[in-house]
Amino acid sequence: MTKKIQILVIGHNTNGCTEEHSRVAYETGVEVAKAGHVLVTGGLGGVMLAACHGARDAKGLTVGIIPQKEASEANEFCDIVIPTGMGLTRDFLTALSADGIIIIGGGSGTMSEMCAAYMHKKPMVSIRGMGGVTQQFIDNYIDHRENIKIIGVNSPKEAVEKILELITA
């Protein structure tokens, strides 16, 4: 049996997540599911909830890796919940569980996941125009090590196509 590709979607949590972020995240979840891959998120609100909702509506499989100890803390669209009880340290688990990462805006939590992924040279794409602290890294590197360039894309469909291209390269 071949392992399914796991795509992590990260971005604004409930605080800072606009209707546009939710729409883009939902469409991204749909595209991941339509491509037959597993959607992984931090399992909470905002972009995470919207992406899971989209993937679920498209009959995909969703995994939420949450910082809390209780699975009930996850959003209702997570099929598989991994309660870590690790708080923000769980950002390393989400990043390392992914074959590739799609970024939709975000703040310091998203940046933490990006840095963990960057240190381990995980492919990343970021959807342009979503704002947040992460936008300054589109089509660039996070630091002088130039581990992995964060590729900018313009749509959820392009994000999934590009991340799959980078994963399988």
CATH number of the domain residue 58 falls in: 3.40.50.450
Is the Cα dihedral 52, 70, 100, 89 positive or negative? positive
Q: Express each pLDDT in 87-121 by its tens digit.
A: 989 999 999 999 999 999 999 999 999 999 999 99
Instruction: Say yes or no to pLDDT of 35 above 90.
Output: yes
Distance CA 48, CA 63 (A): 10
Instruction: Say yes or no to pLDDT of 2 above 90.
Output: no
Average of per-residue pLDDT across 52-69:
98
- Which CB contacts under 8 angstroms, 24+ apart, belong to 55-59? 55/29, 55/30, 56/29, 57/26, 57/29, 57/30, 57/33, 58/29, 58/30, 58/33, 58/34, 59/33
**Domain span holding position 120:** 6-168
Instruction: Say yes or no to pLDDT of 1 above 70.
Output: no
The token pair at 51 is 């992406």
Tally the domains of the chain.
1
What pTM was estimated for this model as a whole? 0.97
